[in-house]
Structure 1
Amino acid sequence: MIMGQKRAVKQIIGKTFIEIADAIKSGEFGEKIRIGLTILGSEHGTENLVKGAEIAAKKGENFDIVLIGPKVDTYLEIVEVESEKDMHKKMEELLDSGYIKACVTMHYSFPVGVSTVGRVITPGYGKEMFIGTTTGTSSVNRTEAMVKNALYGIITAKAMGIENPTVGILNVDGARQVERALKELRDNGYNINFAESMRSDGGAIMRGNDLLAGTADVMVIDTLTGNIMMKVFSSFTTGGSYEGLGYGYGPGVGEDYDKIILILSRASGIPVVSNALSYAAKVTKGKILEIAKEEFEKAKKAKLDEILKHLRKDYKKETESEEGVVAPSKEVVTGSISGIDIMDLEAAVKVLWKTGIYAESGMGCTGPIVLVNEERIDIATEVLAKAGFIEKERDIC
């Protein structure tokens, strides 16, 4: 009896040491990191976001949560601001200073070249799957964007601890071109582990069945379709008004992008808010920014730039009159003009440059946007309307 008890104690001690070693290796053991959450803008109210944050804080996942927004009744730390505009400005300040390592937010405009990798739970087998991508835009060229989306998905999956994620390409317009480009990248030395469709004919091109079953770890898709899929996966049990499943729209990924900002929908409910904060902590501890740098270096050695250039060869986003147009002096661009077709986005920016208005392209709440200084919105709108890029009455996000 005594020998049996000693053996049991030794097993418990051994298991404890293994768990401690695993925790140290994974980064779960040691100094806590801070993850931010902006708390204005939800269709379900501020309380919805705060409740999700409090649930995440109680999970014991070794990270602290910093709320950014108006004063509310909570035990969590709050950095007080009163408006959405000030909220995002404060969020960026906290990220730049390193006080928070990542932030979860809504209604945030990424620059073109950055898009988010969502994380869902498939209804078929309850499998987690990454959707690359779900908000923002990786490129104004659809096919090029999807190739980049594959890289973004791989980067995120690796940050989440999947060493060799399987990659599938959803059967949408351009899927075959994307497949050829990715296989060329693989043949040039960049490792891509292609998934096989569950359908009898197999292959890396995924059907709707594969989307539901979670056949691939990373499902490559154009961003607008990916955004729709996120909404379907997260709210198919609620009728659409409340997103109750999954982990949100994920971190913005892009070459040389140096912030960890994850996106929620205004319709995201308490469970998704909680999960998104955990997602943010895990990709941060998984060193997503370092992995992104490493993966882009590997991909470029495998001639990524040449492959993307070839994809663009028939895509003319600049006319002869746009050649040589130089951007005016850079200004703070917090005003946005939407209603512009993504295929015209870069041309619209250059039209403004020609008139001396500094502008940048981006992706906003309703799609592509042109960003200009707040004081120049009216004149910029007139210029774009006259040039035929938008209707005369500006579409405001």
Structure 2
Amino acid sequence: MGVNQTREAIAEVFEEVADALETGSFGKKIRVGLTILGSEHGPKELVEGAELAQRQNPDIEVVVIGGGAENQLEIVEAGDEKEAHAKMDEMLLKGTLDSAVTMHYNFPIGVSTVGRVVTPAKGREMFLATTTGTSATERVPAMMRNTIYGIAVAKACGKSCPTVGILNIDGARQAERALKKLQEGGYPLHLAESARADGGVVMRGNDLLMGVPDIMVHDSLTGNVLMKVFSAYTSGGSYESAGYGYGPGVSEDYDRIICIISRASGAPVIAGAIRFAADCARGKLPEKVKAEFALARKAGWDPIIKSLRSSAVPKKEEAEREAVAPPKKPVADAIPGVEVMQLEDAVSVLWRANIYAESGMGCTGPIVMVAPEDKEKALEILKQKEYL
């Protein structure tokens, strides 16, 4: 290390010490990026949330990505949402951000978000697993994955033994039986008891309002509605004023921490989402996810999931599933309209036509993601094969 580098390092240490003495927060700050373009309330509202988070949390350093609102925070200029997402992804990849908060972001199939709300009856925090995205293309296996995702997020946020409840929706009883098999196999699962007189792990509306379990398990579409209600029930719906947002995208192989807010999220939710993103980063969420899946697999995860899957698809589709992917390329354009149960088949059809594609989940439903130069041909093929 040269003389100048040594001086810079010493100066940085003294600056950190001085900052810690002033704020009472010691240790490295968590850098959280926030894209501010695309909100129904304008960039100014998001900046207000960022500044609120910065004031409330001296251990966080917020980096604003976008433009159109004056602020005293670090800012990375971006002209539109697409550029903002690209810069956010690049900074996460390089490690100059520890986590990020954004909206209208497409996750691949297998990744879904775990929300965090404050329940109205007793003010208890509760994690909603999950709120956007698709963990799996079949309902009960998806709910099983949602359970593991929720546990990992709760543990990253400091809950060492989170309790799990299953919302009383289609598939709840199947999920309950499967989770109990996993528990019998040795997975350390802590099931909550409903506050209703008949008890049980299947939760009712009262349990939602009271925040009985630490983690409420359901499908993503239900979770999305619940997030809207919990976030905006005091404001009439157009302004989300409570909670922590839709949460981080989670999957066994997903190594980034990207938390989702909606276009209706107001400054209080923005501040909460930034805190949530920082908690996930400090709690090493990706490592927590891998650790939970390792425990689940030791307890018999794979055969349990296999037993839940629907009957095999036709041989023609099986052949298409075995298609080899063409060379990977950036996929910036989305094709909506494919049924979620046919999504992977549609991708395979494009692969067989030498078009690189990926499956994903947009804000309005399943999407096939392709490169801009391939979109026209991909649309033609998918229509011809009756996927659209």
Mark yes or no: TM-score above 0.5. Answer: yes
Cα-to-partner distance string for 1:38-86 (whole Å, 9 max, x where unaligned): 0101011111100100111111331100001125311000011111111
Shift of the alpha carbon at 1:92? Answer: 0.7
Shift of the alpha carbon at 1:365? Answer: 1.4
Q: Aligned residues, how many?
A: 365
Match of 1:185 among 176, 182, 185: 182
Question: Which residue number in structure 1 is paired with residue 89 of structure 2?
Answer: 92
* Equivalences for residues 162-241 of structure 1 within 5 A: 162-241=159-238
Q: Take 1:48 and 1:139, find their aligned partners in 2: how far apart are those partners?
A: 34
Structure 2 residue matching 1:58: 3-state secondary structure: helix
* Equivalences for residues 1-397 of structure 1 within 5 A: 29-70=26-67, 72-314=69-311, 316=313, 319-390=317-388
Q: Take 2:231 and 2:175, find their aligned partners in 1: how far apart are those partners?
A: 27
The answer to which of 58-67 and 74-83 deviates more is 58-67
Q: Take 1:135 and 1:123, find their aligned partners in 2: how far apart are those partners?
A: 22
Q: Take 1:55 and 1:47, find their aligned partners in 2: how far apart are those partners?
A: 12
Are the equivalent residues in 2 in contact too, given 1:36–1:103 (CA < 8 A)? yes
Q: Take 2:210 and 2:354, find their aligned partners in 1: how far apart are those partners?
A: 52
Shift of the alpha carbon at 1:28? Answer: 5.6
CA RMSD in angstroms, aligned pairs only = 1.6
Are the equivalent residues in 2 in contact too, given 1:69–1:79 (CA < 8 A)? yes
Are the equivalent residues in 2 in contact too, given 1:317–1:343 (CA < 8 A)? no
Shift of the alpha carbon at 1:230? Answer: 0.4
Shift of the alpha carbon at 1:314? Answer: 2.4
Q: Take 1:344 and 1:315, find their aligned partners in 2: how far apart are those partners?
A: 13
Are the equivalent residues in 1 in contact too, given 2:129–2:217 (CA < 8 A)? yes
Shift in CA distance, 155/320, structure 1 to aligned 2, threshold 3 Å: closer
Shift of the alpha carbon at 1:367? Answer: 1.0
Are the equivalent residues in 1 in contact too, given 2:43–2:67 (CA < 8 A)? no
Shift of the alpha carbon at 1:324? Answer: 3.1
Alignment-mate amino acid for residue 143 of structure 2: M
Cα-to-partner distance string for 1:242-261 (whole Å, 9 max, x where unaligned): 11111000011110210010
Structure 2 residue matching 1:306: 3-state secondary structure: helix
Cα-to-partner distance string for 1:181-216 (whole Å, 9 max, x where unaligned): 111111111111000011111110111111111111
Shift of the alpha carbon at 1:313? Answer: 4.6
Q: Take 1:213 and 1:137, find their aligned partners in 2: how far apart are those partners?
A: 27
Are the equivalent residues in 2 in contact too, given 1:198–1:209 (CA < 8 A)? yes
Q: Take 2:82 and 2:350, find their aligned partners in 1: how far apart are those partners?
A: 24
Q: Gapped runs of 5+ residues in structure 1?
A: 1-22, 391-397
Are the equivalent residues in 1 in contact too, given 2:67–2:78 (CA < 8 A)? yes
Are the equivalent residues in 2 in contact too, given 1:71–1:78 (CA < 8 A)? no
Question: Which residue number in structure 1 is paired with residue 15 of structure 2?
Answer: none
Shift of the alpha carbon at 1:315? Answer: 5.5
The answer to which of 93-102 and 303-312 deviates more is 303-312
Shift of the alpha carbon at 1:227? Answer: 0.5
Are the equivalent residues in 2 in contact too, given 1:121–1:129 (CA < 8 A)? yes
Between the aligned residues of both structures, percent identity stands at 56
Shift of the alpha carbon at 1:117? Answer: 0.4
The answer to which of 97-106 and 307-316 deviates more is 307-316
Shift of the alpha carbon at 1:241? Answer: 0.8
TM-score normalised to structure 1 length: 0.89
Are the equivalent residues in 1 in contact too, given 2:228–2:240 (CA < 8 A)? yes
Are the equivalent residues in 1 in contact too, given 2:44–2:68 (CA < 8 A)? no
Shift of the alpha carbon at 1:321? Answer: 4.4
